[in-house]
């Protein structure tokens, strides 16, 4: 990503435009969880859920149940978080 390009402030999840929180601290938290080898898989999932709710304020404020009860939405929200983390690239070169 060109650092002079404007950041995206929305993503589409299941056809709905959802606002994202582009605060760099969320990405730092995400990276720390991913790289922490001392955390169990269950603990990582718990922490990533909290990060998802910070990244997607829509789910934090009103629709948390929708995120945890819809497996496809959960997977897509993780994919978009990773897409943003990778600077809007599908794969790192």
DSSP conformation letters of the chain: --TTSPPP-EEEETTEEEE----HHHHHHHHHHHH-TTS-HHHHHHHHHHHHHHH-HHHHHT-HHHHHH-HHHHHHHHHHHHHHHTTS-SS--
Residue 16 in domain: no
What pLDDT, on a 0 to 100 scale, did the predictor assign at position 30? 95
Residue 10 in domain: no
Total structural domains within the chain: 1
- The predicted-structure confidence for 62-93, as pLDDT tens digits, reads as follows 777 787 788 998 899 999 999 999 887 765 55
Residue 76 in domain: yes
Residue 92 in domain: no
Residue 31: count of CB within 10 angstroms of its CB: 11
pTM of the model: 0.80
Residue 42 in domain: yes
What pLDDT, on a 0 to 100 scale, did the predictor assign at position 37? 96
Residue 8 in domain: no
Q: Give me the percent of the chain exceeding a pLDDT of 90.
A: 58
Residue 91 in domain: no
Whether residue 19 contacts residue 58, with contact meaning beta carbons closer than 8 Å, is answered with yes
Q: In which domain, by residue range, is 47 found?
A: 21-85
């Amino acid at each position: 990503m060109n650092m002079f390009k404007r950041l995206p402030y929305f993503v589409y999840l299941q056809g709905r435009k959802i606002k994202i929180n582009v605060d760099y601290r969320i990405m730092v938290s995400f990276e720390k969880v991913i790289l922490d080898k001392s955390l169990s898989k269950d603990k990582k999932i718990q922490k990533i859920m909290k990060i998802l709710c910070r990244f997607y304020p829509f789910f934090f404020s009103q629709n948390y149940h929708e995120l945890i009860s819809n497996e496809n939405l959960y997977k897509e929200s993780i994919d978009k978080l990773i897409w943003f983390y990778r600077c809007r690239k599908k794969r790192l070169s």
